[in-house]
């Protein structure tokens, strides 16, 4: 099942504020271009200075990150870069954007979605772990970030044309050694946009009720195990969960978003979960977790996970 997250963005009033004014505090940046990913791939030949971004810019970054349910692990600054880029300085993940470029692309395309899609692309680099790998921009990781951008724009309410506006305007038709050609990038955005616009997967089936056996002579319940339902409510970015769950002395591997399992001991039981969260749009993480749950006949427990560090996730069972 996929949860559809709806956001209303007042573009005509928010984005001019975001990219129309920044504070004057500035800092010269020294960073490794081998761990930087830019939107179009132009070379930077001059010193780069960063400027404090506005709170509004930080807020819209927060909206984008919230769509995929992850914690923001980077900062955003305006800078004299050719367009926008994701980079790292002193182990701090940073997104840099050119205010001049964003204003120009908005005027050239006639839509604020151009700027949103560019920021979403750079966020995709960070969330996919591209900036902690050596090599900088490469065609394969640029397409992953493009797909992420299309997905986010779809979730925020953009049309496909709006999600592709920036790429249509400036991207190279022939591509380069670091960035794929325009046609491939537009296709990646379209794939992500369609995934974001695909709707929910089927809801879980109703649990099957299994009554406990009763000792007729003593009129007491003698059954010591229960049948329960494990449900993964779904997510917004195409994840699968190859996990192993142990509850009490029972170990099993759920094979669907709604999974029924029998033979679980009654009463408070400790559980452990080990495995992975594999997400088509934002990459994979090793997942682990433990806790205590109260087992009753036909109990329903939900699998919840959260990204806690690069490639690491906490995963738990809850009753709501």
Domain ranges of the chain: 11-196, 214-318
Q: What pLDDT was estimated at residue 34?
A: 62
Highest mean pLDDT among 1-5, 30-34, 105-109, 306-310: 105-109
Q: Is the pLDDT reported for residue 100 higher than 50?
A: yes
CA pair distance 316, 320, nearest whole angstrom: 12
**pTM score:** 0.55
Of the candidates 104, 37, 99, which has an alpha carbon nearest to the alpha carbon of residue 74?
Answer: 37
Q: What pLDDT was estimated at residue 147?
A: 92
Judge contact between 67 and 31, C-beta under 8 A: no
Highest mean pLDDT among 54-63, 68-77, 93-102: 93-102
Q: Which of 8-12, 113-117, 173-177 has the weakest average pLDDT?
A: 8-12
CA pair distance 12, 26, nearest whole angstrom: 28
- Strand partners for 89: 92
Judge contact between 307 and 278, C-beta under 8 A: no
Q: What pLDDT was estimated at residue 319?
A: 83
> What is the SS3 assignment for 54?
coil
How large is the average pLDDT for residues 33-40?
A: 72
CA pair distance 207, 210, nearest whole angstrom: 9
Judge contact between 75 and 93, C-beta under 8 A: yes
Q: What pLDDT was estimated at residue 32?
A: 61
Containing 292, the helix (H) or strand (E) segment is strand 283-295
Q: What pLDDT was estimated at residue 172?
A: 86
pLDDT bin (cut points 50, 70, 90) of residue 56 is low
Digit-coded pLDDT (tens) for 126-150: 887 787 777 788 888 899 999 999 9
CA pair distance 153, 87, nearest whole angstrom: 22
Q: Is the pLDDT reported for residue 10 higher than 60?
A: no
Digit-coded pLDDT (tens) for 225-277: 889 989 887 766 678 889 999 998 899 999 877 888 998 988 888 899 999 98
Q: Is the pLDDT reported for residue 208 higher than 50?
A: no
Q: What pLDDT was estimated at residue 93?
A: 85
CA pair distance 110, 119, nearest whole angstrom: 17
How large is the average pLDDT for residues 87-95?
A: 82
Which fold would CATH assign to domain 214-318? Immunoglobulin-like (2.60.40)
> β-strand 92-97 against 258-265: which pairing, if any?
unpaired
Q: What does residue 300 show for φ and ψ, rounded to 5 degrees?
A: -120, 130
């Amino acid at each position: 099942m996929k949860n559809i997250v709806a956001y209303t963005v007042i573009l005509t009033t928010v984005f001019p504020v975001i990219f129309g004014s920044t504070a004057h505090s500035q800092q010269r940046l020294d960073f490794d271009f081998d761990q930087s990913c830019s939107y179009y791939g132009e070379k930077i030949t001059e010193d780069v200075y960063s400027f404090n971004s506005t709170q509004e810019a930080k807020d819209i970054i927060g909206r984008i990150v919230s769509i995929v349910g992850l914690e923001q692990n980077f900062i955003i600054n305006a800078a004299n870069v050719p367009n926008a880029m994701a980079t790292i300085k002193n182990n701090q993940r940073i997104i840099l954007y050119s205010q001049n470029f964003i204003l120009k692309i908005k005027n050239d395309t006639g839509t604020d979605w151009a700027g949103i899609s560019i920021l979403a692309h750079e966020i995709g680099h960070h969330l996919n772990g591209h900036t902690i790998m050596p090599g900088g921009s490469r065609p394969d990781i640029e397409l992953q970030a493009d797909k992420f951008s299309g997905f986010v724009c779809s979730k925020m309410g953009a049309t496909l044309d709006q999600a592709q506006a920036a790429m249509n305007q400036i991207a190279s038709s022939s591509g380069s050694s670091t960035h794929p050609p325009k046609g491939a990038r537009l296709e990646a955005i379209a794939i992500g946009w369609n995934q974001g616009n695909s709707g929910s997967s089927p809801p879980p089936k109703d649990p099957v009720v299994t009554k406990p056996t009763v000792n007729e002579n003593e009129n007491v319940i003698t059954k010591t195990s229960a049948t329960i339902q494990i449900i993964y409510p779904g997510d917004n970015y195409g994840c699968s969960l190859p996990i192993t769950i142990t509850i009490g002395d029972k170990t099993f591997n759920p094979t669907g978003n709604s999974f029924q399992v029998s033979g679980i001991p009654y009463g408070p039981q400790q559980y452990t979960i080990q495995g992975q969260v594999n997400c088509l749009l934002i990459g994979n993480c090793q997942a682990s977790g433990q806790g205590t749950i109260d087992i009753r006949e036909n109990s329903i427990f939900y699998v919840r996970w959260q990204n806690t560090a690069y490639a690491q996730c906490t995963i738990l069972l809850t009753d709501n």
